[in-house]
Chains A and B, each alone.
Chain A
Amino acid sequence: MKLNKITKTAICLSLLATVGCTDNFEDINTNNNGITPELFQQDFNHIKGGFAPIFNNIQTITSQLEWQYQLQQGLNSDIWSGYMATPTPFGGSNNTTYNLNDNWNGFVWSIAYSNVMYNAYNIEQLAKGKYDQFYALALILKVEGMHRVTDTFGPIIYSKYGTTDATIEYDSQQNIYNQMFSELDVAVTELTKRVDSGDDGTASFGKTDLSGYAGKFEQWIKFANTLRLRLAMRIVKVDPALAKTQAEKAVAQKFGVMKTNADLFQIQSPVNTNPIATISGSWLDIRMGADMESILGGYNDPRIATYFDTSAQFPGEYKGIRTGIEITAKGDHQDFSGIGAVVRSKNIVLMTAAEAYFLRAEGALRGWNMNGDAKALYEAGITTSFDQRGASGAAAYITDNVKTAKAYVDPNFPVNNAAAVNNVTIAWDAAATNEVKLQKIITQKWIAGFPEGQEAWSDYRRTGYPKLFPVLKNTSGGKISTLLGVRRINFVQSEISLNKGGVDSGIAKLGGPDTGGTRLWWDTAAANF
């Protein structure tokens, strides 16, 4: 009896003690290096804090995460655009030979969703209706970040993002484009209203802004308009009427599109250098593309000196590598030209002012009201690009009607040699066909846009220009045509395992098999004109 009593008392006492002191369990279980939601609201950091990860992950530029950029863009669109090529075998069969590597390509999706989409959505939840300038800026950045993703996969999660349903449905690309246009409407309207009322944006957004715009709303509006122009041109083959409306709307907007190199959209990182610098300079994993050597070399284009370094193996020469060749050892090509000074910079350009001119030139060619004629806009595009790269001789270059792309020679492996394929000259020829004029515009746009391969790959799919060397080794197993190249990337593994229903809805809306050979909504097989 005695024992039982003692036992009971002991247990009760300790129970009392226990219950009494578990109050601080919540504190103990909280990581004191974390920031609590309450603290985070001070200075609107809960809203502003979402911008940096978007800026830094439209292209992942974070130092020591260069490998993520490599998988997000470096080993897909940077290569399929003809800009660059890798000397590294990476197993011999991979994206370069059209055997799409799911483990690599999953990063296109995951980086966009966990950084751009997540933060844009959070900012919308916190700022919409209260701090609409942040909402507007987040919308522009969302369109900038996510149009790249839909242009890669086709249908993606867009309007349904934020639901906690077990299955999150994908939108058709048409719906996504429509939503992006209306999101740009909202953003441009809001920011214009603010500029008109005397708020230039530097006070509220200056310190948060990691672009070169220093928070200036006017600049952001110009960027949004140019982005609209880009998206409008993208859909020109599938919905020419809407394309024209949107393009003219962009140009006619009060602040218009980008005009000078001060307008270009770039991330000005305080700490991070363009990841391509490391991938090329330290890892020797990316080199000049053979198409770049063929076109820039053929044109004797002075911009080559900022774009590329001369080859370590062939001193004084610019030497590119063809993509989709048989690579047995990295050493075979690793000492060809690396990527040049353009990437050894903390300014990472995502949209050039030259692009705006080339878009307008194409619009003018199509008979749209672009405030200028095609020739003038085309030449302004080239001049603006020369100016941006600090290259001289634009005047002579523009009038060169002799030089064309040159043949490609692989000094180590002649099997990779090829005659030039993109046979247009530089000078505008009013007498040429629209097709030739378009090829010139896109070729110059392609040169000017370096090293942003994502947009170049999209243009290539839309127009077929510039003409690129085909792969010599196609290990896609018949899924991707050697002639047409990669049209998209198949849906990602993480979605297939965690959101199968969503992926199925996406495949239904894709209108073709979930492979890299299926064309997107805007990528029709129709002629350019």
Chain B
Amino acid sequence: MIAFTAQVSLAQVKSIKGVITDSDGMPLPGASVAVQGGQRGSTTDFDGLYSIEASKGQTLVFSYVGLESQSIVVGDAATINVKMGQAQSNALNEVVVTSLGIKKTRKSLTYAAQELKGEELTRVKDANLINTIAGKIAGVAVTKSSGGTGGSTKVVIRGNSSLLNSQPLYVIDGIPMLNAGSGQPNETFGSLSGGNRDGGDVVSLINPDDYEGMTVLKGAAASVLYGSQGANGVILLSSKKAKTGKSNISASSVTTFETAAYLPKFQSDYIADAGADETWGAAGKTKDHVKDFFNTGTTQITSLGYSAGSENSSTSLSYANTSGSGIMPGNSIKKNNFGIRQTAKFFDNKLSIAANANYTSQNIINKPVNGLYFNPLTGVYLMPRGNDFDYYKNNYEVFDPNRNLMAQNWMTNRDIMQNPYWAINRNKSEDKNNYFNGALAVSYKANNWLSIASRYSYNRVESNFDKKIYATTQGTLSHINGRYINESALSTQRYADLIATINTNISTDFNFTANIGTSITNTLSNQKTILDSGIGTGLQYANWFTLHNFNSNSGNYQTVDSQKEVQSVFAATTFGYKDMLFLDVAARNDWSSTLVNTDKSGYFYPSVGLTALISEMATLPDWINFGKVRATYAQVGNDIYPFITSPTYYYRPGFEDPKPSVGPKPGETLKPELKSEIEFGTEWRMFNNRLGFEVSYYSSETKNQYIQVKALEGNVNGYSFYGINAGSIENKGFELVLNAGIFRGDKFSWDSAINFSQNKNKVKEIPEELGGRVNLTDPGVNSYQYAVIEGRPFGVIEGKNILKDDQGRILLDADGKIQKTGFQEIGNANPDFMLGFSNSFKIGSFFANVLIDGRFGGEVMSLTESQNDFFGVSKATGDARNAGGVKVNAVMPDGTAVTTMDAKSYYFTQGVAGREGATGEYMYDATNVSVREISIGYNFSPKNLPFIQSASISLIARNLFFIYKDAPFDPNIALSTGQGLQGVDIYGLPSTRSIGLNLNVTF
């Protein structure tokens, strides 16, 4: 407060005014002006205007985060206009966007935050923006779904910490985005409700060209201001902003071609016995029809942008169109993105308003499913060899004179393997998504140290899934007259906040900034209306797909996944001392509607962090440009699942029985989850900022996890489950980010970056009632189970092994048969460490970028291989038959050694293979290193091109090849982006390799 009160009167003081602009001439609001050696200071308003009192001969210091500071001696002039240029990139002046859109100098951060520039997101463009961050951020694991183009993506930052959800929060310009998907599969066999399908997510719907950059906040401290939503980390996206006095039109066009890579291998030496589903018959050459089944996919992304800015207002418009066809025949996608952003300033620039609206509509035909039901791939892979695949392709339906309709034509009536072309054409599905995001932000600058901002946003996601299943579809999947499924889901989020920002120099040595605010978030997720004519009851008239043709209403219902409101107050403060020591103190209190009828209506959580700039505090050798150490401790609370504490009677589909499915355990109250994290880090730059690294260590524990335990069967409350607080998961790890300017010259430069992260995960506690375990995916009848087990890392894969002795010999029973164990741990889906290595080269106007991405450790299971072996179609079974049997190291109970087993007996009759086989034999090391992205291009010189500001052309490739891989499929693809079905492949769409061309022009 001294700064405001201790006014010292000086002679010849005059008022100096001026405008501070950036190198483009755009006014800089919030730039600071100080009198060197004095106590007076001022900041610019929204027009970049400042005024300060100084006397002739004094030096004014102009500074702005991220720009080169300037010192100007006051002369006679009363106006001093300053144009501030981009500072040489160095750690002292970099600015990062943090929580709630607050910009901070990078040096003052007390936690790890890693940025990606917009160019990184669009250089090798993917229809889903988030797929492009793989390998570029330390500690972030990106796993694509097997749903093909338009599918969702699982992002896990610093390890799985929750049983329910490990996905981060996405934030656009400070406002949390609703990232609701309409559901993820979790059945190994495949869902009977239309197959194991990816319900998509919202982040896959946004237009990568709308954003100029991304910041990933990894830890709890970084995300404390977003509360529970940010407990799994936060990904911040900043939208592109128009520049004052400039207008331009940009256009880009990306065309890529995808081919199926890493298909399973098949035998071509044996055929099936007549009428048999499995290929265990006589020798006979067959054609490999699998390769030809897949198409070359194409994806065309065309994006147009227009922006114009004047002194008081700016407008940006964007449009993008994505259209593509997948490698799976019959699969196609169409997506349109529209965006508009408008800003304006009023009242002497004290009041500014920004509004933006984005709309996306997406339509996907035959989004690929995994699992055994409704999946064309099972029919393709498993077709009994010796049949003519092309015949069944061209005649997938034939006229049935008895029914007077076209009926499926296939050699078998197995639910897990229909005619693939019937599945494609007569079990056709359509996924539609519409996403709207509208936001309004108002900010008012009350004076030079206080501004108040308020924001409101509305997100709306509508998704619709429509599947028409024609009569004569296999009887497990459909009624005799066909089946119609139509699911609509609506999710909305309303968010509003009010934040006061205070930024003041208490004295020349002490700086204080604070953000104090309140927010309200109201979320409705997946309000669904589900129509399903069902399998048993079905349609009255064959192939008439509409609600009034349903024989019964029993499969139709409305439901809502979640509905809640969270109201919060929060404050985040930073105290800076001499620009070398920074103390962060933040706190938040949430009141959540999910906590009604519990002992607590709200919950409080704090964070504290400290950063010291060693390079400013001590004298270091000249070659060290920057050195910093930091430490934080933070807690994040998380509310419980909605509706649990207000159970209602509920008619569930298929149950006439209206009783609540979940409720609190009698006599117990529920409380919020709590995540605590401690983090240390250090960052150094040296050799003229050519080499820099940052190392972070963190340790977090999430306690009081909400878990549903099986209630006593037939308890008087009617609950199937009790909701309880229990369970604790720990994550420890470290991250290294290394940047090096290996060579910098006028004609040639080479920059490299390495992102390394290691995470050790441990499930510390799972309650006794659950036997110390929670099954995230139940096995059903298959030998795959995915569980969280006390004392083990998160995500244990369990399966069955062949019974062996200590020497590794197979122990046969008295009949000479292989014996299987019960469920045992056979692997873990989590990587031990991840490494991303990116290189960018410039040779004159040419540029090249190469990203190598590696995941090390962990295991995956291939039920696809197992099933292919069981059916005798795999190359392994063909080779074994050619070799006279499977080589085994086995022993009879009487000690007789057995070295060879008949292939059919081993794989099929004794069932080592198959979905309920000894899946321990089908585990693979998930370690893989791939050439994730490559781009090679040329920047045209604008001088040679009229009207054009910039233009470039590049050849791009994604997932070009694996440098190392053990598994028979791409382990970076998961069957689900939810918590279950990890580390397993069950007829997932093969991974694709894409190569294409990228054109960019700005007028």
Contacts and interface: CB of A to CB of B under 8 A. Distances in A.
B451 to A, nearest CB: 12
B591 A497 contact: no
A40 B534 contact: no
Interface stretch (B6-14, B134-142, B656-664): B656-664
Contact of A113 (B597, B648, B714): B714
Interface stretch (B249-257, B426-434, B557-565): B557-565
Interface in A19-37: 21-22, 24-26, 28-37
Interface stretch (A62-70, A172-180, A393-401): A62-70
Contact of B476 (A21, A49, A56, A283): A283
A272 interface: yes
B415 interface: yes
Contact of B558 (A33, A161, A498): A33
Contact of B656 (A37, A56, A118, A499): A56
Given A28-B564, A64-B654, A91-B916, A110 B713 contact: yes
Nearest to A499: B712
B716 A162 contact: yes
Of B512, B647, B651, B659, most buried by chain A (CB within 10 Å of CB) is B659
B740 to A, nearest CB: 44
Contacts of B649: 34-37, 40
A199 B911 CA distance: 62
Interface in B628-687: 642-643, 645-651, 654-660, 666
A22 B567 contact: yes
B219 to A, nearest CB: 26
Contacts of B713: 109-110, 113-114, 492, 494-495, 498
B651 A119 contact: no
B330 interface: no
Interface in B10-28: none
B489 to A, nearest CB: 13
A462 B448 CA distance: 94
A121 B535 CA distance: 33
B643 A114 contact: no
B710 A494 contact: yes
Interface string B555-599: 001111001110101010000000000000000000111111100
B interface, how many residues as a size bin? 35 or more
A515 B657 CA distance: 33
Contacts of B650: 31, 33-35
A282 B479 CA distance: 11
Nearest to A32: B560
Contacts of B648: 30-31, 34-36
B967 interface: no
A53 B651 CA distance: 11
Interface stretch (A8-16, A439-447, A478-486): A8-16
A273 B551 CA distance: 13
B646 A26 contact: yes
Interface string B733-777: 000000000000000000000000000000000000101000000
Interface in B278-316: 278
Given A35-B649, A164-B666, A494-B710, A62 B594 contact: no
A206 interface: no
A512 B512 CA distance: 78
A138 interface: no
A491 B277 CA distance: 39
B646 A29 contact: yes
Interface in B513-567: 514, 516-518, 522, 534-537, 551-552, 554, 557-560, 563-565, 567
- Name the residue among B474, B643, B660 with the largest chain A CB count within 10 angstroms: B643
A31 B551 CA distance: 28
Nearest to B718: A118
A286 interface: no
A271 interface: yes
B717 to A, nearest CB: 9
B909 interface: yes
B666 A25 contact: no
Contacts of A1: 1
Contacts of B712: 168, 494, 498-499
A52 interface: yes
A130 interface: no
B354 interface: no
Interface string A62-86: 1111000000000000000000000
Contacts of B500: 6, 10
A335 to B, nearest CB: 10
A317 B370 CA distance: 40
Given A33-B560, A331-B276, A52 B654 contact: no
Contacts of B884: none
Nearest to A164: B666
B502 interface: yes
Contacts of B474: 282
A162 B666 CA distance: 13
A25 B593 contact: yes
A276 interface: no
A281 to B, nearest CB: 7
Contacts of B476: 278, 282-283
B593 A29 contact: yes
A84 B565 CA distance: 55
Contacts of B720: 114
B716 A164 contact: yes
A527 interface: no
B357 interface: no
A341 interface: no
B75 interface: no
A429 B865 CA distance: 63
Given A114-B713, A271-B552, A494-B713, A28 B593 contact: yes
B270 interface: no
B642 A29 contact: yes
Interface string A262-289: 0000000011110000100111000000
Given A1-B1, A64-B654, A494-B710, A28 B563 contact: yes
B61 to A, nearest CB: 25
Contacts of B596: 25-26, 29
B642 A114 contact: no
A207 interface: no
A222 to B, nearest CB: 26
Contact of A117 (B522, B592, B654, B714): B714
Contacts of B660: 34
A89 interface: yes
A498 B711 CA distance: 8
Contacts of B654: 62-65
A419 interface: no
Given A15-B569, A31-B643, A110 B560 contact: no
B192 interface: yes
A256 B791 CA distance: 63
Contacts of B655: 53, 62
B769 A498 contact: yes
B908 interface: yes
Q: What 5 A-B pairs have minimum CB-CB distances, sorted nearest first? A: A113-B714, A34-B648, A63-B536, A14-B518, A53-B657
22 contacts: A6-B502, A7-B571, A10-B517, A13-B518, A21-B567, A22-B591, A24-B593, A25-B595, A29-B563, A29-B593, A31-B643, A31-B648, A33-B560, A33-B650, A34-B650, A36-B649, A40-B649, A64-B192, A65-B654, A118-B715, A278-B536, A283-B415
Interface of A: 1-3, 6-7, 10-11, 13-15, 17-18, 21-22, 24-26, 28-37, 40, 49-50, 52-53, 56, 62-65, 89, 91, 109-110, 112-115, 117-119, 121-122, 161-162, 164, 168, 270-273, 278, 281-283, 328-329, 331, 492, 494-495, 497-499
Given A24-B593, A35-B658, 17 more contacts: A11-B569, A21-B567, A26-B596, A26-B646, A28-B565, A30-B643, A31-B648, A34-B649, A50-B657, A62-B654, A114-B718, A118-B718, A271-B537, A281-B475, A282-B415, A283-B415, A499-B712
